[in-house]
Structure 1
Amino acid sequence: MMRRYLLKLAAFLLGIAVLAGLGGAAGAGETVVDAAGRDVAVPGKVDRLAITCYGGTTHEVAVLGCAEKIVAQPGMTRFPQLLRMFPRFAEVVDPGSFDKVNVEELMKAAPDLVLVGVSSKKGNRLIEEAGMPTYTMLIGWAAVDKLKQEFLNLGTILGREAEARRLVDYWNEKLGWVETLVGRVPEEERKVVYYTGKTITKASASDWGWHWIRGSGGICALEETPKGEIGVEQVMRIDPDIIVTQQGNGTADILEDPRIQDLKAVKNKAVHECPIGAFWWDRPSPESPLGFMWLAKLLYPDYTREIDLEKETREFFREFYRYELTDEEYRSFFGREPAL
């Protein structure tokens, strides 16, 4: 009983503090629609920001120039490049993530706003019941247009409209460029791409993967998002031209699998691990256009010679992360793969 009372009292005091901080900042009085379909009032000021999800949310905040506003978020050890660029992220409070969030720890950080994931309804509800305002992020459940709108919404919330518009303009320019280049590829030269995890039956269950493959000029090996594992026999029937694994999974388990040695991609050693920069390039984040460029070059090198991936990567990090990559850092993005 006492613990519940203290939580309610803290929520009441936090609500007063948030209201007291409302002012005449840009965007105040507006509403934006979040990933849960809610109309969310734009705060007058957000100086203290908490995050309870992964899925590129921290990266969105960082490229908008608001990394210093983050006072709580899940650990970022899986993103070493991000920590090199923003070492303070190693020190901020870790309140847990998604439905395993520690509300009491979150309240101690006294955030003006909490960015939550669309998949964690239980955890999000606990945060809201504690009196902390939330905005729901798409995380991995994004299409290109929806993600661009999320950038704009977050820019409005954080008072970084110009930075958000610049990011969206970058997306439009680079994805349009890739579309033009791969549009030259004749239909008979289009390659079938199978996108998977560590083993051949762990087909990706993310709709984003379908956007990524098609946007890079590939043909999706599966016509729809798989539910759970698929059978080896189905993969053998598809016989993809190229297999791409999610970063961190490597390629050895697939190349050495005795069941699939007759696959075209395995015989041709056309099994590749997707890069990771500050975030995975095969998933939705501000860096995603680099992933489209990488895959387009991998699939159609003769048609994408104009893409200098190293130059494009360095320019993105310079402009949006405000960071100069070293040669070693760039090469590290490709794991065991040669840098394109």
Structure 2
Amino acid sequence: MKQKFKFAAILMLAVFGFQLWAGGNRENSGTEVFAKVTDHRGRKVLIQKKPSRLVTPFYILSNTALAIGCRDIIVSGDGGKGGVRPFIKEFAPELAEKPVCGSAKALNLEALASVNPDLILVPFKAADQLPQIEVLGVPALVVEPETMENFFSYVEMLGKATGKNIEADKLLKFYNEILNDVAGFIKGEAPVSVYMNSRSDALNALSPKMFQAELIKAAGGKLVTEDIRDTYWTKVSLEQVHKYAPQVVVMAAGAKKAVALTSKTEWKGIPAVDAGKIYTFPSSVDEWDSPIPSSCLGIIWLADKLHPGKIPENYLETKVKAFYKEFFGKEKDLKSLNVE
């Protein structure tokens, strides 16, 4: 009851005492501005001062924030459904003790007000809550990193908004070097047809509109479900998968053991299954198929599966060690990440 009263009081103060951001593009004349940022809704957001209390309400947003050096200013906790994520335990365990301010689909407005933020990252699925969020008088950025372009622009956006431009540029340089290297390694190779399914259902197929579709393309693959026009994962029939006849099946990070498909009679006759070319994206610490910085490592890993012998020996190991040391300050290798 006290919490609800406190939240209501904060909202009332915000209404009468703060500047309303109204879409993020209202500006006080004569006031210095730390940064002007355009979010993924096209909103021009003014940030009056360098943020010291940042809300990153779910894993994909906090992962990137940590990679560019925002660890000390994050005031929100990890909201994973299955408890604290392995990534948080490994690289930022203190976030497990902070208030959970939302998820990928919605923000908890009461928890949000309680942490007194000065910059809020809003998942695009929660963008309909902007009117309530803006009442707090705090700049909010809507983020939708479901394409490679949007992931890169998110890194740039957050770097500018938090004053971490140098760190953001360093991350993008590392990522782009891998993209260029892999493209060179597999140059001239015919694209390998790939079917990708979600972690929960082998017949829940990847849409070409998703971030993972771009990872597959960058790794030298060709998504067989290009006929699907729905957003995100789409249910298909086993008959349709047989018609797709993929050369490789890739399962989303966290999916059940890939070998289970090879024991199912109804899946036999699919080239990938018959050849045993069924792989699951690494996910023991962070998920290499998500729109997060480590997806660059997922590109190398997948390119090696699709084009055996084309990725130089130890290239992935070298990049893994450099990546986690540079952006998360810890030594990791393929063995410690359970990467096969």
User: Which TM class, normalised by the smaller chain length?
Assistant: 0.7 to 0.9
For the residues of structure 2 that align with 1:276 and 1:151, how far apart are their CA atoms? 22
Q: What is the aligned counterpart of 1:199 among 198, 201, 204?
A: 201
Residue 283 (structure 1) aligned to one of 267, 290, 294: 290
Give runs of aligned pairs for residues 155-234 of structure 1, distance below 5 A. Answer: 155-185=159-189, 187=190, 190-197=191-198, 198-205=200-207, 206-227=209-230, 228-234=234-240
- Cα deviation digits, residues 43-91 of structure 1 (max 9, x gap): 321000112344x210111011111211114425463033211110111
When residues 327 and 30 of structure 1 are mapped into structure 2, their CA distance, relative to the original with a 3 A threshold, is closer
Q: CA deviation at 1:219?
A: 1.4
Alignment of 1:258-273 (within 5 A): 258-273=265-280
Unmatched segments (≥5 aa) in structure 2 = 22-31
Report the residue type matching 2:116 in the other structure. A
1:120 aligns to what SS in structure 2?
helix
Q: Quote how far apart the aligned CAs of 1:94 are.
A: 0.8
1:66-105 equivalent positions in 2, closer than 5 A: 66-76=70-80, 77=83, 79-105=85-111
Query: Identity percentage over the alignment?
Result: 25
> Quick one: which amino acid aligns to residue 223 of structure 1?
E
- What is residue 299 of structure 1 aligned with on the other side? 306
Structural RMSD (CA): 2.6
Letter in 1 for 2:331: E
User: How far, CA to CA, are the matches of 1:284 and 1:98 in structure 2?
Assistant: 13
Q: Secondary structure at the match of 1:71?
A: coil
- Residues 137 and 73 (structure 1), Cα distance of their counterparts in 2 relative to 1, 3 Å cut: farther
Matched, 1:313 2:327: no
Q: TM-score, normalised by structure 2?
A: 0.85
Which residue among 233, 242, 247 is the counterpart of 1:236? 242
C-alpha deviation, 1:311, in angstroms: 1.8
1:270 deviation in Å?
1.0
- 1:3 deviates by 7.7
> Could you tell me which residue of structure 2 aligns to residue 118 of structure 1?
124
**Distance in 2 between residues matched to 1:28 and 1:277, nearest whole Å:** 41
- For the structure 1 residues 215 and 225, does the alpha-carbon distance in structure 2 shift closer, same or farther, using more than 3 Å as the test? farther
The SS at the match of 2:309 is coil
Give me the TM-score of the superposition, normalised by structure 1: 0.85
Cα–Cα, structure 1 residues 160 and 261, in superposed 2: closer, same or farther, change >3 Å? same
In structure 2, relative to structure 1, the CA distance for the partners of 1:99 and 1:292 (3 Å cut) is closer
For 1:213 and 1:98, the matched residues in 2 are separated by 24
In the alignment of these two chains, the number of paired residues is 318
- Structure 1 alignment gaps of length 5 or more: 19-26
